Amino acid sequence: MDDSLKLVIDSYDPDAPLASASTIPSTWYTDERIFELEKQTVFSRSWQIAARKDQLTEPGNYVTTEIAGEPLVIVRGNDNVVRGFFNVCRHHAAAVMTEAAGQANQMRCPYHGWTYSLEGELKGTPDFTDVCNFDRAENGLAPVQIASWENWILAKLDGGQQSPLADANASLTEFLGVELINQMRTLGLDRLHWLERRTYTLNCNWKVFVDNYLDGGYHVPHLHKGLDSVLDYSHYTIENGAHFCLQSSPMVSRSDDQVGAVRGGQRALYYWLYPNFMINWYEGVLDTNIVRPLAVDRTEVTFDFYFADVSAQSRERNRASIDVGERIQDEDVGICESVQRGLKSRAYHAGRLSVRREGGEHLFHRLLCADLKAAV
Which residues make up the interface to ligand FES (CB under 6 A)? 89, 91-92, 94, 109, 111-114
Query: Minimum Å distance from CB 328 to Fe ion?
Result: 6
| Residue 274 near which of ligand FES, Fe ion, none (CB within 5-8 Å, type-dependent) | none
Query: Minimum Å distance from CB 131 to ligand FES?
Result: 13
Query: Minimum Å distance from CB 19 to Fe ion?
Result: 24
Question: Of the two residues 94 and 308, which places its CB atom closer to ligand FES in the complex?
Answer: 94
Query: Minimum Å distance from CB 141 to ligand FES?
Result: 11
| Residue 332 near which of Fe ion, ligand FES, none (CB within 5-8 Å, type-dependent) | Fe ion
| Residue 341 near which of Fe ion, ligand FES, none (CB within 5-8 Å, type-dependent) | none
| Residue 222 near which of Fe ion, ligand FES, none (CB within 5-8 Å, type-dependent) | none
347 and 211 Cβ atoms separated by less than 8 Å: no
237 and 260 Cβ atoms separated by less than 8 Å: no
Query: Minimum Å distance from CB 138 to ligand FES?
Result: 16
Question: Of the two residues 5 and 109, which places its CB atom closer to ligand FES in the complex?
Answer: 109
Query: Minimum Å distance from CB 121 to ligand FES?
Result: 15
- Which span (4-12, 91-99, 146-154, 325-333) binds Fe ion, by CB under 5 A? 325-333
Please name the residues in contact with 52: beta carbons below 8 A apart, sequence gap of 6 or more: 63, 151, 152, 153, 194, 304
Outline where DSSP puts E strands in 117-231.
Answer: 122-124, 143-149, 152-156, 193-202
Burial of 194 per CB tally in 10 Å (0-12, 13-18, 19+): middle
H or E element in which residue 317 lies: helix 315-343
| Residue 112 near which of Fe ion, ligand FES, none (CB within 5-8 Å, type-dependent) | ligand FES
For the chain, state the CA radius of gyration: 22
Question: Of the two residues 38 and 332, which places its CB atom closer to Fe ion in the complex?
Answer: 332
145 and 159 Cβ atoms separated by less than 8 Å: yes
Q: Where are the alpha helices (DSSP H) in 15-58?
A: 32-40, 42-45
Among 287, 297, 332, 358, binds Fe ion (CB under 5 A): 332
Outline where DSSP puts E strands in 45-99.
Answer: 48-52, 61-67, 70-76, 82-86
Question: Of the two residues 136 and 373, which places its CB atom closer to ligand FES in the complex?
Answer: 136
Question: Of the two residues 139 and 258, which places its CB atom closer to ligand FES in the complex?
Answer: 139
Check whether the bond before 275 is cis (ω within 30° of 0): yes
CA-CA distance, 50 to 64, in Å (whole number)? Answer: 8
Task: Please report, as ranges, the residues that interact with Fe ion according to CB under 5 A.
Answer: 332
